[in-house]
Structure 1
Amino acid sequence: MKLRTLMAAALVALAPVTATADDSIIVQSTTSTANSGLYDYLLPIFTDKTGITVNVVAVGTGQAIKNAANCDGDVLLVHAKPAEEKFVAEGGGTKRTDLMYNDFVIVGPADDPAGVAGMEDVEAALTKIAESEALFASRGDDSGTHKKEKALWKAAGVDPAEGSGAWYRETGSGMGATLNAGIGMGAYVMTDRATWISFANKQEYGIVVEGDDDLFNQYGVIPLNPEKCPSVNVEAAQTFNDWLVSSEGQEAIGAYMVDGQQLFFPNAPEQGS
């Protein structure tokens, strides 16, 4: 039996039969939403309204989905739609809903060794980086960002694994740590825009590639399925999900700014439609 299940069982055994569900949930989420400061802004609003405490586990999307599949949590909030849909189809979640979006960008050093600054075509830019063997730092962690990056390399007809350990460096780390590593070695890095805007250690780096439709970055929210994971706090998880996709939650997401820039753009389907 999972530790979470044992803890939940112990709490139920100790509580009076009239007690309501524990007013806290665990959200398995991405590092980008945490690194951007979104949760620091958003969660106090939700808690003040509902009394429900939200504890976030911020890891790469791949690991977040694995954690959720192991019933470690109540809600999944990540950004790899095909993997999310597969998770729901396999019974891990009750329903996936589009929540918000932003985009990915490629950042690079001021000297721009691959000559990609100002390019919009991301596949063409990646091809130039590979052909010039300019350093490129990848998360390499099966995160949503890493999944997107791999798809873009494939679309460009490039296998970066051929340059692994030479010009292509995999950090196995989150977005912030990969940006720090990439900047330290003078490498290009693909990042979500929200993390980049919030990132404090930019040094002489800037965005060099942006604007391609292929860089679109969609986030989704999924309550875990209590039929598979009996430890899920169903009521609190659904309350959080419903608030995020409500007009109030969507307005709160859209209102979050850093340095005067909006980081996430709400796009949940209109409720009741």
Structure 2
Amino acid sequence: MHNKNTSVFAVLFICLMLVGLAGCGTKPDKASPEPAKPQVQDVILATTTSTQDSGLLDVLIPAFEKKTGYKVKTIAVGTGQALAMGEKGEADVLLVHAPDAEKKVVASGAAMNRLMVMHNDFILVGPADDAAHTKGQTVTAALTAIAKAQAPFISRGDKSGTHQMEQKLWKQAGIAPTGNWYQEAGAGMGQTLAIANEKKGYTLTDRATYLAQKKNLALDIMVEGDPKLLNLYHVMEVNPEKFAKANHAGAKAFSAFILSSEGQDIIGNFGKDKYGQALFFADAGKTEKDFGL
């Protein structure tokens, strides 16, 4: 009897050990499960070159794709071109920085749900010798000095948000820039900075792209901190009622992500490790009224 019981207990013990080992072998992975694939995976993002040239999208988009299962096709052009793509239904979602032009696109019915995402600022940069004596002046005074000295000024010339801001600033200064000293690059921000660097000229740039490219430039900041140089970014979805082919679910998901606490943390911390300062300030929930506009 004793031997029989011993045998039974031995068998039970072995079975329990086997079950335990099997359990260890099938222990669930602690990694986050793969998100369910959306019905339409591809999301076309039309955005300004500054979000691309600064490197922000290189961090933001992979995080969005990993979390949602969407795949983003980024088209980084000037804001004017990005908005035009939205007006033609050639994109799903827009991330841009030309408030006056953005409002017109929303008013036309081509885009919807325009919300503030972040801001940084524009700066006027130029060669270290500062031949036009612009350093530390207001942006109006600096542009007036550049025009008077006919110092080289390189404009984006591409109807981008930066170009639109530059034109607005010249107008506020009462100047219509013409002549050999004023040159239009017809290029993105990174390339425009490279041209200004080569020609030892001045240009208007967003701070993020300047900091990202600074190691390759011999251009210094001449004007910063002027309230006129505020640079606001908004996200908006292309209207599916006007453009049936628009991936509205994907656009909404992208907008929701960059306005979420996770997306805003990525934006608000981007650049701190590399440049010692944030390249953008997160603004979800704010409006232009919060900036006195």
Fold equivalence (TM over 0.5): yes
* 2:66 pairs with 1:52: no
Match of 1:39 in 2: 57
Counterpart for residue 231 of structure 2: 217
Q: Deviations over 1:135-191 (max 9, x none)?
A: 10001110000000000001111111x32xx11011111111111111111110110
Give secondary structure in 1 for the equivalent of 2:113: coil
Q: State the SS of the aligned residue for 1:95.
A: strand
Instruction: Say whether residues 1:108 and 2:126 are aligned partners.
Output: yes
Q: Please state how far the C-alpha of 1:20 moved relative to its aligned partner.
A: 5.0
Q: Look up the SS of the partner of 1:64 in the other structure.
A: helix
Of structures 1 and 2, the one scoring higher in RCO (CA 8 A, sep 6+) is: 1
2:174 is aligned to: 157
Distance 1:194 1:183 in 2: 17
- Where 1:199 maps in the other structure, the secondary structure is helix
* 2:45 and 2:92 in contact (8 A); partners too: yes
Change beyond 3 A, Cα 1:150–1:127: same
Of 210-219 and 20-29, more deviation after overlay is shown by 20-29
Q: Which amino acid aligns with 1:260?
A: G
Q: Which residue among 250, 265, 268 is the counterpart of 2:284?
A: 268
Q: Which residue of structure 2 lines up, in the alignment, with residue 11 of structure 1?
A: none
Aligned residue pairs: how many?
A: 248
Structure 1 position 109, deviation (Å)? 0.5
What corresponds to 1:94 in structure 2? 112
Cα 1:203–1:175 shift into 2, 3 Å: closer
Specify whether residues 71 and 142 from structure 1 end up closer, same or farther in structure 2 by C-alpha distance, changes over 3 A only: same
Judge conservation of contact 1:139–1:174 (CA < 8 Å) in 2. Answer: yes
TM-score, length of structure 2 as denominator length: 0.82
- Contact kept, 8 Å, 1:21 with 1:235, in 2: the verdict is no
- Of 245-254 and 191-200, the range deviating more from structure 2: 245-254
Q: Which residue of 2 aligns with 1:229?
A: 243
Partners of 1:224 and 1:128 lie apart in 2 by: 42
Letter in 2 for 1:145: T
Conserved in 2, the CA contact under 8 Å of 1:21 and 1:233? no
- For 1:231 and 1:204, how far apart are their aligned partners in 2? 46
SS of aligned partner of 1:27: strand
Taking the aligned partners of 1:186 and 1:235, their CA distance within structure 2 comes to: 47
In structure 2, stretches of 5+ residues that fail to align are 1-36, 287-293
SS in 2 for 1:102: strand
Alignment deviations for residues 76-102 of structure 1 (CA, whole Å, 9 cap, x no partner): 110001111110110111221011000
Is this contact kept in 1: 2:194–2:217, CA < 8 A?
Answer: no
Q: Which amino acid aligns with 2:277?
A: Q
CA shift for structure 1 position 21: 2.1
Structure 1 alignment gaps of length 5 or more: 1-18
Over the matched positions of the two proteins, sequence identity in percent amounts to 48
- Pairwise CA distance, 1:236: 1.4
* 1:259 aligns to 2:271 (yes or no): no
Task: Report the Cα distance in structure 2 between the residues aligned to 1:195 and 1:152, rounded to whole angstroms.
Answer: 20
Match of 2:43 in 1: 25
Native 8 Å contact 1:114 1:134 kept in 2: yes
Q: Which amino acid aligns with 1:240?
A: F
The CA distance in 2 between the partners of 1:20 and 1:263, in whole Å, is 32
- 1:175-213, Cα deviation, whole Å (9 max, x unpaired): 111111111111101100000000155443211111100
What letter corresponds to residue 153 of structure 2 in structure 1?
F
Letter in structure 2 aligned against 1:239: A
* Higher radius of gyration, 1 or 2: 2
In 1, the alpha carbon distance for the partners of 2:59 and 2:88 equals: 28
Aligned CA-pair RMSD: 1.3
Shift of 1:243: 1.3
